[in-house]
């Protein structure tokens, strides 16, 4: 896996980025699909080594922001840099620093676990001489060594998600981006995904940007959170700070304010019908969930 960020004096390196720069900086990022402004002036900084959670209701713009950060969408307005490298001008270098587990299914049910990870190793240019070791390491990191020879189509939902994690880890990313990594998993499978992430972080110092709809996970695993709604960040801070801020605002006991309360407060609970057009997702969301279910 990747090594921890270099210590010592700041430097700019075309391959690894700048040790003094944040892992991610988005400045006034805006992205529209036709009339729909999915991301609307997003400003965000994720420090190196941090686990940062992007929260928000269905349609908030989280996946769109992530697709721009991973260079899968062009950025018409604003700027994104990863370890100081500009995503628009240094696209290929940025891609080499990133691991990405997308919201939609990224494993092939007709390949074995090992073949899926090998495919990603080739796509991400892992040197041929290192490939076998790196694939082994990635499979070990997600506890799939024994199941590696089985078709992914026979895996449980939790194993599929861990396989996708191995696919993203095989390139030894410095910034791992996970779009709803635990959606639809049972509590044990969810915990094992987070255990894998924690172990890799402990060994490498990798930075993590994650989206989730599970507030308990955000509370437990993220150092800082941003709450996004309608393309904009409504609140940002450590989970405890967000709870304390809302408690102070409401004059409530901080111990009785949950992250779910914070989510409801900032994501416009109480709005219904025409006021909340994105409620519950759309066809794309349903199709995503179903395709994941099929592989399971
Ligand atoms: N390919 C697309 N074409 C048109 N509109 C899109 C497209 N992708 C996203 N949108 C719209 O952009 C907005 C933001 O969607 P996005 O998928 O980024 O939200 P999200 O926060 O990831 O939601 P979820 O929690 O459901 O995954 C929504 O209004 C969505 O309908
Ligand atoms: Mg999404």
Is residue 260 a contact partner of residue 215, using CB atoms and an 8 Å limit? Answer: yes
Q: Is 32 in the pocket of ligand 1 (CB under 6 A)?
A: no
Cβ burial, residue 162 (10 Å; 0-12/13-18/19+): buried
Which residues fall inside 5 Å of ion ligand 2, going by CB?
A: 62-63, 103
Contacts of 202 by beta carbon, 8 Å cutoff, 6+ apart: none
Q: DSSP letter string over 1-51?
A: -PPPPP-SS----TTT--TTS-SEEEEEEEEEETTEEEEEEEEEEE-TT-E
CA 212 to ligand 1 centroid distance, Å: 15
Q: Is 285 in the pocket of ligand 1 (CB under 6 A)?
A: yes
Is residue 171 a contact partner of residue 120, using CB atoms and an 8 Å limit? Answer: yes
Per-residue model confidence (pLDDT) at position 124: 86
Mean pLDDT by 10 residues, the chain (296 residues): 37 62 97 95 97 96 96 91 95 93 93 97 90 96 96 95 95 96 92 94 96 95 96 96 94 91 81 42 47 44
Q: Is 36 in the pocket of ligand 1 (CB under 6 A)?
A: yes
- Cα–Cα dist 219/248, whole Å: 19
CA 121 to ligand 2 centroid distance, Å: 25
pTM of the predicted structure, to 2 decimals: 0.87
Max intra-chain CA distance, the chain: 61
- Cα–Cα dist 82/70, whole Å: 9
Structure tokens at 105: 């299914």
Per-residue model confidence (pLDDT) at position 288: 53
- Cα–Cα dist 80/100, whole Å: 16
What residue has token string 């605002």?
Answer: 249
Per-residue model confidence (pLDDT) at position 16: 65
Strands of 224-229's sheet, edge to edge? Answer: 98-101, 175-179, 207-211, 51-55, 224-229, 232-237
* Mutation probe of ligand 1 site: the residue of 37, 62, 279, 283 with most atoms within 8 A of C-beta: 62
Q: Which residue puts its alpha carbon closest to atom 31 of ligand 1?
A: 59
């Amino acid at each position: 896996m990747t090594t921890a960020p270099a210590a010592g004096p700041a430097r700019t390196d075309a391959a690894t980025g700048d040790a003094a720069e944040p892992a991610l900086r988005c400045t006034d990022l805006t992205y529209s699909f036709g009339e729909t402004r999915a991301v609307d002036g997003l400003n965000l900084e994720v420090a190196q080594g941090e686990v940062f959670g992007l929260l928000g209701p269905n349609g908030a713009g989280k996946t769109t922001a992530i697709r721009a950060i991973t260079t899968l969408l062009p950025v018409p307005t604003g700027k994104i840099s990863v370890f100081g490298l500009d995503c628009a001008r240094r696209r290929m270098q940025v891609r080499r620093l990133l691991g990405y587990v997308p919201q939609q299914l990224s494993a092939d049910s007709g390949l074995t676990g090992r073949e899926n990870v090998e495919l990603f190793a080739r796509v991400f240019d892992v040197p041929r001489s290192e490939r076998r070791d790196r694939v082994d390491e990635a499979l070990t990191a997600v506890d799939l060594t024994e199941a590696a020879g089985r078709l992914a189509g026979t895996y449980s939902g939790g194993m599929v998600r861990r396989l996708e994690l191995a696919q993203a880890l095989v390139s030894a990313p410095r910034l791992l981006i996970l779009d709803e990594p635990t959606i639809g998993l049972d509590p044990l499978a969810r915990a094992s995904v987070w255990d894998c992430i924690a172990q890799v972080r402990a060994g490498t110092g990798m930075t993590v940007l994650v989206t989730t709809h599970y507030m308990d996970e955000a509370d437990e695993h993220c150092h800082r959170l941003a709450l996004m709604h309608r393309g904009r960040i409504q609140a940002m801070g450590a989970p405890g700070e967000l709870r304390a801020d809302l408690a102070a605002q409401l004059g409530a006991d901080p111990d009785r304010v949950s992250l779910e309360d914070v989510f409801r407060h900032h994501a416009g609970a109480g709005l219904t019908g025409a006021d909340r057009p994105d409620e519950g997702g759309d066809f794309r969301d349903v199709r995503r969930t179903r395709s994941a279910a099929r592989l399971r």
